[in-house]
Amino acid sequence: MKALIYGEKQIHVLDALGFLESLKALTGESVEAVAVVSQPKNEISAEELKGANKVYAMGVTSSYASFNGVLKLYNELSPDLLIGAATKNTTEILARISAKLDVPMLTEVTELEKVNEDIILKRNMLGGRALISYVFSKPLILTVPQKKFKPPEEGPVPEVTEYEVAVENKVRVIEVKPKEKGAVDIEAAEIVVGVGRGFKSKDDLNIAFELASLLGGEVGCTRPIAADYGWLGEDRWIGISGKKIRGKLYFAIGISGAPQHIMAANDSKVIVAINKDKNAPIFQYADYGIVADLYQFLPVLIKRLKERT
């Protein structure tokens, strides 16, 4: 089987290589994987891309130029699979190629399994409440979630070659403003204390920060706290358009539990919900639920935690 992998950055290639490992284990078929990345050659470390047979470096920054390169390479190689990590630009590029060449595409395939002779691919729908499954057939284009599938640890180190692409001119990039990189990376945090609309003011969030620091965790938030009130930066926003967390413990405090929020937090090992509304949907997704006013309960919880240490 021949696979073409696209990555904005080389780290995204690992997600696709991980998926191919799982696919190989199910089919027993060998896979030849060619990767193409938007980064320039000098930013690529071939030792970290074991499992890829060859790597092309385009050295372009926009999704429009990257599309031209991936399409050109796709036509040269006629792969059975085109795979990328589910970033926004990758989804855009792969969807364009899917439409242009009439090859079907699935966004964010999270699971694969063998049923009789068929390989079944599954993805989330309905905000993570349901799984929709498809029978795998070639050719196929797909994206996979970041850091979901484990890349191979062994394998030959691929050769890296520069790959020249044309720059599209119907859309022109005028400016790129890097988002403020706060010191927080809640996606990497083992413990996250999430705050929602149950908090009445920005100052009141201090108590959540105190709890997070006691537990050695980070503070995350729902969409309104970041996008509507601007009380916290978007780097703390847990949601399908924001960050996805998968640590040991998630405290959802004053959060009702919108599907988009749940979907991005549901990979946490243990979820605790604190809400004064006993009917809040968040309790359905929690291991431990506490119906209480956060303004009364959090100070008590913090006091008790402090008394132990």
Partner 1 sequence: MNIAVLVKASLDTNMLRIDSSGRLLIDETPLVISEYDRNAVEEAVRIKEEKGGKVVAFSVLTWGPIQRKVGDAENALREALAMGADEAHLVVDESIIPGNVDTTVEVLKTLIEKFGPFDLVITGEASMDMLSFQVAARLAEKLNYSLVTFVRKLEVLDGKIRATRDLEEALEVVEADLPAVISVTGEINQPRLPTLLMIRKSFAKPLNKYSLADIGLAELASKMKVKDISLVTITRKNIMIEAESLEEIADQLIEKLLSEGVIKG
Residue number with CB closer to partner 1 (31 or 215): 215
Q: Which amino acid is at 215?
A: L
State whether residue 289 is helix, strand or coil: strand
* C-alpha distance from residue 14 to each of 17, 109, 163, 243, 265 (Å): 5, 15, 20, 19, 23
DSSP string, 55-81: EEE----SHHHHHHHHHHHHHHH--SE
* Closest distance to partner 1 from the beta carbon of 133 (Å): 5
Q: Are strands 249-253 and 191-195 parallel, antiparallel or unpaired?
A: parallel
Residue number with CB closer to partner 1 (199 or 285): 285
* Closest distance to partner 1 from the beta carbon of 127 (Å): 5
* Closest distance to partner 1 from the beta carbon of 269 (Å): 6
Residue number with CB closer to partner 1 (16 or 160): 16
* Closest distance to partner 1 from the beta carbon of 293 (Å): 9
* Closest distance to partner 1 from the beta carbon of 181 (Å): 8
* Closest distance to partner 1 from the beta carbon of 42 (Å): 20
Evaluate whether 238 touches 244 at the Cβ level (below 8 Å). yes
Nearest to 152 by CA among 49, 1, 36, 28: 49
Instruction: DSSP letter for 249, please.
Output: E
Evaluate whether 112 touches 136 at the Cβ level (below 8 Å). yes
Burial group, residue 292, by CB count within 10 angstroms (0-12, 13-18, 19+): middle
Residue number with CB closer to partner 1 (73 or 160): 73
Residue number with CB closer to partner 1 (145 or 151): 145
Matching residue, tokens 């390169």: 69
Q: What whole-number distance in Å separates Cα of residue 92 and Cα of residue 19?
A: 20
Residue number with CB closer to partner 1 (36 or 263): 263
Residue number with CB closer to partner 1 (49 or 271): 271
* Closest distance to partner 1 from the beta carbon of 198 (Å): 16
